[in-house]
Amino acid sequence: MHFPIPFNHSTSTQSAVSCTTCARQTQCFAQELDTDVLLSLAENIRQRPLARGTFAYRSGDAFNTLYFIQEGFCKKALIDDAGQECIVGFSMAGDVLGLDGCAEGCYTSQAVALQDSVVCEIPFTSLLALSFTFPSLQQSLHRIMSREIAHNQKSMLLLGSLPAEEKLLAFLYGLAQQFAVRGIAADAFDLPMSREEIAGFLGLQMETVSRAFTKLHAEGLINVQRRHIRIDTARAA
Amino acid sequence: MHFPIPFNHSTSTQSAVSCTTCARQTQCFAQELDTDVLLSLAENIRQRPLARGTFAYRSGDAFNTLYFIQEGFCKKALIDDAGQECIVGFSMAGDVLGLDGCAEGCYTSQAVALQDSVVCEIPFTSLLALSFTFPSLQQSLHRIMSREIAHNQKSMLLLGSLPAEEKLLAFLYGLAQQFAVRGIAADAFDLPMSREEIAGFLGLQMETVSRAFTKLHAEGLINVQRRHIRIDTARAA
DNA sequence: CGCGAAGTTGATTACTATCAATCTGAGTGG
DNA sequence: CCACTCAGATTGATAGTAATCAACTTCGCG
């Protein structure tokens, strides 16, 4: 059921491919990496469980590995001058972590699992070596990094200039879209992160996020019960 | 005076290399690309002047080119739902533009020159072709993209959770550092962008930026006269 | 000299942060 | 099975900050 080579040329496809017998994600959501194939190609490409609350990597660690999330949910964060954790993004099954480390030889961010997760560890040198045998793998990496750049730019748009309520709504629609792309129910889901973590990402305070949830609920735009969200995905542009 | 090959393995070097006879930047600030060499290697890698106010590329344009800024200054922006231009970053000589287009086949942002500039147009396919001959060129590209990711993450930290005055100060220190890395005087410089553009980047209103300038000046942290800034770079951590 | 774009300043309103109290639900142990 | 506990979440009151609207200033330019 998987492609015989660890890459795929299609750029337009946005649908996810996952194993039918389990929820485990084996391909990047644009089908650019197939971990089943990668695992079979190199000895040092391995799966590793990542328990809730543990780090995939920390800021300052020497960079040598990319982490492909097969199962679960992670947050990416920077530590600011005040020692405060500032969340710069969330990643889910099918995403790749650690792309920021390549430039300076060490990670500038840290990644923590918000759920018990499974990552596929891909030593960067192995990936480079494989990309000689499979040239399109190189281009897949470019696309993955490029998508990260484009995605971060959109996040910056979200952070600037929107009032709290709209920030939160846009954030939820964004999440729903991520789920939809992966073939997961997008109109009802459980938030993997706390109010505080949402606040940290949106540049707000926890209380403001909570109030925004309450208000959006009252306005009928969403349905909230603690971390369970129901949302009308048809509106999500 | 330039490297004989269009790439360089050093990762630790942070100093810039520019032509001694002119202000033109020929190498990426981490010495990863040398445009003089690139220009000599492929016919379709060309220099192009970019007049103030003109686009390097627009959102939605088909992606096929990276733009290496040799001279000048550009802003990168997204257009939000309200048709408002939201600035997601500024780029200067030695930076590479257009990295966000690789993923989806079209640019998701737009880039506009804030000064009369000169860019080196690098067709992406040419770059890929060259990276077969010069394998390290591939890794240079990875580093450039990775740096963009790390840099955007830091920008997100700037946008979230800091009050206006501190945002502006951090922005100015960041700019000063960019200048310093390139060997340009960093303790006194002219801002290439308007108050409104700074506001667009920092997620503030123009008036707030203006007030923040006034206040920082009054506090003696900076010296402002319209667009001319003097700043104590020793404090810039 | 007048014009217009860019920038500054002032007054007021709207929004968000902050501090504090309370509520809820999951997990724990008696 | 139920009270207890505690972290996460909600709500309220108030203070602080930035947005908004408006007037004014400065500078470059024809």
CATH number at residue B204: 1.10.10.10
Strands ordered across the beta sheet of A110-113: A55-57, A110-113, A73-79, A85-92
Specify the pairing of strand B96-97 against strand B188-190. unpaired
Taking alpha carbons only, the member of B106, B35, B32, B40 closest to residue B67 is: B35
Residue B136's closest chain A neighbor by CA? A128
Same domain? A153 vs A165: no
pLDDT value, residue B18: 43
Question: CA at A207, C1' at C21: how many angstroms apart?
Answer: 13
Q: Which two tokens stand for residue B96?
A: 């590479």
Instruction: Look at A146 and B149 and tell me if their CB atoms are within 8 Å.
Output: no
Q: Quick check: helix, strand or coil at residue A108?
A: coil
**Spatial distance between the Cα atoms of A190 and A226, rounded to a whole number of angstroms:** 9
User: Are residue B49 and residue B112 in the same domain, yes or no?
Assistant: yes
Rg (CA), chain B: 18
Give pLDDT tens digits for A9-56. Answer: 333 333 444 444 445 666 655 457 788 888 888 889 999 999 999 999
The per-residue pLDDT for B8 is 41
Residues of B with Cβ-Cβ distance to A145 under 8 angstroms = 99, 102, 142, 145-146, 149
The CATH number given to whatever domain includes residue A36 is 2.60.120.10
Query: In the block, which residue shows the tokens 């509106």?
Result: A235
> For B199 and D9, how far is CA from C1' in angstroms?
34
Say whether both B67 and B137 belong to one domain. yes
Interatomic separation, CA of residue B221 and C1' of nucleotide C7, rounded (Å): 20
The owner of tokens 């890929």 is: B128
Clarify whether residues B115 and B138 are in a common domain.
Answer: yes
In a domain, B9, yes or no: no
Question: Within 7 Å: CB of A203 and strand C?
Answer: yes
Domain identity same for B135 and B177: no
pLDDT of residue B26: 65
d(CA B69, CA A109): 27
- Domain end position, chosen among A102, A127, A157: A157
End-to-end CA distance of chain B: 32
- Within this chain, do residues B36 and B109 fall inside the same structural domain, yes or no? yes
- pLDDT computed for residue B51 by the predictor: 95
**The two three-digit tokens of residue B208, written as one number:** 């707030």
Name the nearest CA neighbour of A47 among A31, A24, A17.
A24
Residue nearest to nucleotide C6 (CA to C1'): B194
Answer for the pair A208, A166: CB distance below 8 angstroms, yes or no.
no
What tokens were used for A63? 């960079």
pLDDT at residue A5 greater than cutoff 50: no
> Last residue of some domain: A129, A157, A185?
A157
Q: How far is CA B156 from the centre of its chain?
A: 16
Residue B1 resides in a domain: no
B227 vs A117, B77, B223, B232, CA distance in Å?
50, 21, 10, 16
B112 and B23 co-located in one domain? yes
- Residue A118 sits in the same domain as residue A205: no
**Stretch A214-236: mean pLDDT, rounded?**
92
pLDDT confidence tier of residue A135, bands split at 50, 70 and 90:
confident
Q: Least CB-CB distance to B152: which of A104, A105, A149?
A: A149
> Which residues in chain B are closer than 8 Å to A103, comparing Cβ atoms?
30, 143-144, 146-147, 149-150
- Which of B118, B133, B157 is the last residue before a domain boundary? B157
Number of H helices, E strands in chain B: 6, 11
Same domain, B123 and B71: yes
Which residue, A137, A60, A54, A138, is CA-closest to A105? Answer: A60
Q: Is residue B4 part of a domain?
A: no
Global confidence as pTM: 0.90
Q: Which residue is nearest to nucleotide D26 (CA to C1')?
A: B226
d(CA A104, CA B30): 10
A237 to chain B, minimum CA–CA distance in Å?
10
Residue A158 to residue A161: CA distance in whole angstroms = 8
What is the side-by-side order of every strand in the sheet holding B188-190?
B188-190, B228-231, B222-225
Are residues A147 and A50 part of one domain? yes
Average pLDDT over residues A184-203: 96
Tell me which chain A residue has its CA closest to the CA of residue B161. Answer: A203
Place of tokens 């990775």: B146
* Nucleotide closest to A208 measured between CA and C1': C16
What is the distance between the alpha carbons of residues B56 and B9, in angstroms, rounded to a whole number?
A: 29
pLDDT computed for residue B213 by the predictor:
98
A225 and A179 both lie in a single domain:
yes
CA-CA-CA-CA dihedral for A154, A83, A106, A140, to nearest 10: -20
Decide if B138 is inside a domain.
yes
How many other β-carbons are positioned within 10 Å of the β-carbon of residue A82? 9
Digit-coded pLDDT (tens) for A155-174: 999 888 899 999 999 999 99
pLDDT 10s per residue in chain B (237 long)? 333 344 443 433 334 444 444 456 666 554 577 888 888 888 899 999 999 999 999 999 999 999 999 999 999 999 988 888 999 999 999 999 999 999 999 999 999 999 999 999 999 999 999 988 888 888 899 999 999 999 999 999 988 889 999 999 999 999 999 999 999 999 999 999 999 999 999 999 999 999 999 999 999 999 999 999 999 887 765
Give the Å distances, CA to CA, from B170 to B176, B216, B231: 10, 12, 12
CA distance A72 to A43: 24
Domain-embedded: residue A113: yes
Q: Cβ within 7 Å of strand C: which of B 148-207?
A: 161, 194-196, 206-207
- Overall domain count for chain A: 2
On the 0-12 / 13-18 / 19+ scale of CB atoms within 10 A, B233 is: middle
Q: Which residue type sits at A143?
A: R
Nearest to A84 by CA among B202, B154, B172, B161: B161
Structural domain includes residue B188: yes
Q: Which residue has the tokens 């627009």?
A: B58
pLDDT at A133: 87
Q: Is residue B7 part of a domain?
A: no
Return the axis-axis angle of helices A164-181 and A135-159, rounded to nearest 10°: 160
Residue A146 pLDDT: 97
Which pLDDT tens digit goes with each residue over A206-221? 999 999 999 999 999 9
List the domain range (segments joined by +) for residue B97.
15-157
What local confidence, expressed as pLDDT, does residue A25 receive? 64
- State whether B148 and A143 contact (CB < 8 Å): no
Residue A4 domain-assigned (yes or no): no
B40 phi/psi in degrees, rounded to 5 = -80, -15
Instruction: Give the mutation candidate from B153, B169, B204, B207 for the A interface (greatest A CB count, under 10 A).
Output: B153
E strands within B94-203?
96-97, 110-113, 117-123, 188-190
Instruction: Answer yes or no: do B152 and B170 share one domain.
Output: no
Cβ contact B182:B94 at 8 Å: yes
